[in-house]
Structure 1
Amino acid sequence: MIIGVPKEIKNNENRVALTPAGVAEFKKNGHTVYIQTLAGVGSGFTDEAYEKAGATILPTIEAVYEIAEMIVKVKEPIASEYKLIKENQLLFTYFHFASSEELTHAMIERKAICLAYETVEKADRSLPLLVPMSEVAGRMAIQEGAKYLEKPMGGRGILLGGVAGVKPANVLVLGGGIVGTQAAKMAAGLGANVTIMDISLPRLRYLEDVMPANVDTVMSNEYNVREAIKLADLIIGAVLIPGAKAPHLITRDMLKEMKPGTVLVDVAVDQGGCIETCTPTTHENPTFVIDEIVHYCVANMPGAVPYTSTLALTNATLPYAIQLANKGWEKACKENEELKKGLNVVNGKIVYKGVSEAWKLPYCHISEVLA
């Protein structure tokens, strides 16, 4: 199969979908790999390193899309890429369709095969291609939150861990999944008082066992959320429903119950966000203020640490990408239930229920396209 890796063009997205080691694996399996020039430079990988591994460097993004049977990316295509996508071309990347109606309609129109990292799902319901970036984003959420709590950045002027004789900050984490767990661990490690909320009692029991003493677990419901936000200095939104929009746990009216200078970090913003007032921002302009509350809503947080993120992501995606290349997407998805669940849009049809429900569009059962 012919594999194409374009340079990411989303604002300040420095990750790349394939490392030179990944190129070598594709070559070992008999595939051809084309890399757009400078695609890996933001992550520390030169064109020469890719060529040495066996890739061919192409000068433009247009050339990569034109020649490739499978496009491997990190982030969803943006508007300028839509016209480059060909019918029956396989795109393997993060899509987050439930947060963009425009992207959904564009991929339906292009009749591409859209296999989304974020909905590839194991039998135990874990999301293997979301986990590495969730780990990075959860840890980064605390780094960024701590920074924006500083007074010059618009925050309350609070040090997360406090000092002798001065209480530490209160951190509220909404969601006890991968993102929330990593965020709570980081905040606790810095000495903050942490409260983590979830709707699953078994998950809360697990977190109670593994978290340090400065982390409290609380059942998530509207009453408890409203009470907790009054005390919080930093609030992390870490709620995910695979392939669907995140629910709004914090609504606009709740902002008035928070202390001025409180910082909100919505890690779920690329799935619509779990904080009603959050809209996607970029690393260039990461924050905005509503009702004296600082909102940090960067949709590609791991893009700020591309070396770590690229290696973590490609470690997870490469085995699946090799299967797709070796067998073709149809056979690979028939034989691998995990990959089958990654299919979101196929030849103009939505085959993932969460996407069809998000935009009230017709749903086609996956069995109809994998006959």
Structure 2
Amino acid sequence: MIIGCPKEIKNNENRVALTPGGTLELVRRGHTVLVQTSAGTNSGYTDEEYVEAGAQILPDIESVYAQAETIVKVKEPIESEYALIRENQLVFTYFHFASSRPLTEAMIKSKAVCLAYETVEGPNGGLPLLIPMSEVAGRMSVQEGAKYLEKPAGGRGILLGGVPGVPPARVLILGAGVVGTEAAKMAAGLHANVTLMDINLDRLRYLANVLPPNVTLVFSSEYNIRRELPRTDLIIGAVLIPGGKAPNLITRQMLTEMRDGTVVIDVAVDQGGCIETCHPTTHEDPTYVIDGVIHYCVANMPGAVPFTSTLALTNATFPYLLQIAEKGWERATEENAGLKAGLNIVRGEIVYREVAEAFEELVS
């Protein structure tokens, strides 16, 4: 199989979808690997390392798309890439279709095969290709939140963990999945007072036994959320509906119940966001202010720590990529039901339920 790894061109996306180590394994098995020049530079990998591993270095993104049977990426194709994607070409990456109609329409038009990291399922359920980046984003959300609570960044001027004699910040986390749990661990480790909300009582019972005592587990409801808003300093949105659009748990009107300088971090923004006033931002221009509330809504948070993120991501994605390379995507998905769950659009047809529900008019 001919596998192509283009350089990511989304704003400040520094990760790469294939490492030299992965390249070496594919080449050893007889596959051809095409890597765009400098694709791995921002993750710490030089073109020379890819060449030593057996890759062919191509000068531009157009060459990679034109020659590869399978494209492996990190983030969804952006508009300038749409026309490069060919009929029957497999694109293996994060897509998050439900939050982007233009992307969905473009991939339908391309008649490509779109295999989405975020909906691939593990043997026992779960989302093994989403988990590593959720872990990174959950931990980063607290790191970024602490920074923007500082006065020079526009925040309330609060140290997340406080000091003896001065209370710590109050952190509200919506969603107790991987992102929310990792955020809770980080915030609690910095000695903040943390409230973690979810509607899954079994999950809350489990976390009550493993999280430290400065994390309070609360059933999520509009009433309980509203009760927390006036006294919360940092809010982290961490709601996940696999393949679907996140629900709005905090509305525009609810911002008026918060104090000026409160910070909201919406990690679910690449799936539409769980805070109504959130829209995607970039690492270049990460925040904006509405009603005195600082919004941080970077859609590719892990791109800021590419060395860590690339290794975490490729550790999870490479075994699936190897299956695809060895068997072809059709046989690989027939034999692996979890991988089949990653199919979102196939040759112009939406095949994933939540994406179809988000765009009913596009379903033939």
Shorter-chain TM-score tier: over 0.9
- Aligned residue for 1:172? 172
Question: Could you say what secondary structure the match of 1:361 adopts?
Answer: helix
Residue 329 (structure 1) aligned with residue 329 (structure 2): yes
Indicate conservation of the 8 Å contact 1:197/1:217, yes or no.
yes
Q: Deviations over 1:248-300 (max 9, x none)?
A: 01010000001111000000000000000000000000000000000000000
> 1:283 — aligned with what?
283
CA distance in 1, matches of 2:283, 2:318: 27
> 5 Å matches for 1:147-296?
147-296=147-296
Kindly indicate whether the alpha-carbon contact (under 8 Å) linking 1:287 and 1:296 is maintained by their aligned counterparts in 2.
yes
* Contact persistence 1:323–1:332 (CA under 8 A): yes
SS in 1 for 2:24: helix
**CA-to-aligned-CA distance 1:147-191 (integer Å, 9 cap, x gap):** 000011111100000001000000000000000000000000001
Asked if 2 retains the 8 angstrom alpha-carbon contact of 1:141 and 1:265, the reply is yes
Partner of 2:118: 118
Match of 1:299, as an amino acid? A
Q: What are the Cα deviations for residues 27-46 of structure 1, in whole angstroms up to 9, with x where unaligned? A: 12210000000000000000
TM alignment of 1:5-44, pairs within 5 A: 5-44=5-44
Instruction: Give, in whole Å, the separation in 2 of the partners of 1:212 and 1:361.
Output: 47
Q: CA offsets per residue over residues 321-345 of structure 1, 9 Å max, x none?
A: 0001111111000000011000000
Find the residue that maps to 1:155 and give its secondary structure.
coil
Aligned residue pairs, count: 364
Secondary structure, aligned partner of 1:194 = strand
Q: Supply the distance in 2 between the matched residues of 1:263 and 1:201 (Cα, whole angstroms).
A: 27
Instruction: Determine whether 1:304 maps to 2:304.
Output: yes
User: Residue type of the partner of 2:145?
Assistant: G
Structure 2 residue aligned with 1:78: 78
Whether the aligned pair in 2 keeps the contact of 1:19 and 1:314 (CA below 8 Å) is yes
Q: Distance in 1 between matches of 2:304 and 2:143?
A: 12
State the distance in 1 between where 2:317 and 2:198 align: 28
Check if 1:357 corresponds to 2:357: yes
Partner of 1:50: 50
TM-score by length of 1: 0.97
Corresponding letter in the other structure for 2:94: Y
2:139 is aligned to 139
Is the Cα–Cα contact under 8 Å of residues 188 and 212 in structure 1 kept in the other structure? yes
Deviation at 1:231, TM superposition (A): 1.2
Structure 2: how far apart are the matches of 1:182 and 1:54? 37
Secondary structure at the aligned position of 1:57 is classed as strand
Deviation of residue 362 (structure 1)? 4.7
Deviation for aligned residue 1:360: 2.0
* In structure 2, C-alpha distance between the alignment counterparts of 1:85 and 1:161, rounded to whole Å: 48
For 2:262, give the aligned amino acid: T
Q: Taking every aligned residue pair, what percent have the same amino acid on both sides?
A: 71
TM-score normalised to the size of structure 2? 0.99
| Letter matched to residue 178 of structure 2 | I
Unpaired segments of 5 or more residues in structure 1?
Answer: 365-371
Question: Which residue does 1:320 correspond to in 2?
Answer: 320
Structure 2 distance, partners of 1:101, 1:362, is: 10
**Where in structure 1 do 4 or more consecutive aligned residues deviate above 6 Å?**
none
Cα deviations across residues 59-88 of structure 1 (Å, max 9, x unaligned)? 000000000000000000000000000000
Alpha-carbon offset, residue 125 of structure 1: 2.4
Structure 1 Cα separation of the partners of residues 298 and 164 of structure 2: 33
CA contact (8 A) 1:351 1:363 kept: no
- Which amino acid letter does the alignment assign opposite residue 149 of structure 1? L
Residue matched to 1:368: none
**Residue 25 of structure 1, CA deviation:** 1.1
Gapped regions of structure 2 (runs ≥ 5): none
